[in-house]
Amino acid sequence: MSHQIIKDLHNRYTAKQYDASKRISTEDLEVIKEAIRLSASSINSQPWKFVLVESEEGNNRFHDTFANKHQFNQHHAKEASHTLLLAYDPEFIKEKFSKRVDVEVSSGHLPADMRDNFMGAYAFAEMNTDENGYNGSWTKAQVYLALGNIMHTLARLNIASTPMEGVDPDLIGEKFSAELDGHICEVALAMGYPNTDEDWNHGLPKARLALEDIITTV
CA dist., res. 35 & res. 29, Å (int): 10
The per-residue pLDDT for range 73-93, each reduced to its tens digit, is 999 999 999 999 999 999 999
Q: What is the mean pLDDT of residues 97-101?
A: 97
Contact 94, 122 (CB under 8 A): yes
Rounding to the nearest 10 degrees, give the CA dihedral for residues 179, 27, 39, 157: -120
Report yes or no: 68 and 168 within 8 Å, Cβ to Cβ: yes
If one counts the domains in the chain, the total is: 1
Confirm if 15 and 162 have CB atoms less than 8 A apart. Answer: yes
Give start and end residues of each alpha helix (H) in 51-200. 56-64, 76-79, 94-106, 115-119, 122-127, 136-156, 169-175, 177-180
Other Cβ atoms closer than 10 A to 88: 24
Does residue 171 contact residue 77 with C-beta atoms inside 8 Å?
Answer: no
- Which CATH number fits the domain that encloses residue 79? 3.40.109.10
Residue 1 has pLDDT above 90, yes or no: no
What range does the domain containing 36 cover?
Answer: 4-214
In percent, the amount of the chain with pLDDT more than 90 equals 99
Average pLDDT, the chain: 97
The predicted pLDDT at position 129 comes to 98
What's the predicted TM-score (pTM) here? 0.96
Phi, psi angles (nearest 5°) of residue 83: -130, 135
| Residues 175-194: tens digit of each pLDDT | 999 999 999 999 999 999 99
Q: 85 burial class (0-12, 13-18, 19+ CB within 10 angstroms)?
A: buried
CA distances to 10, 14, 64, 207 from 210, rounded to whole Å, are 15, 20, 41, 9
* Choice between 192 and 2, residue whose per-residue pLDDT is larger: 192
Condensed to tens digits (0 to 9), the pLDDT of residues 19-69 reads 999 999 999 999 999 999 999 999 999 999 999 999 999 999 999 999 999
In the prediction, which pLDDT does 95 show? 97
Cα(48)–Cα(11) distance, integer angstroms: 28
Residue 85, pLDDT score: 98
Give residue-wise pLDDT tens across range 114-166. 999 999 999 999 999 999 999 999 999 999 999 999 999 999 999 999 999 99
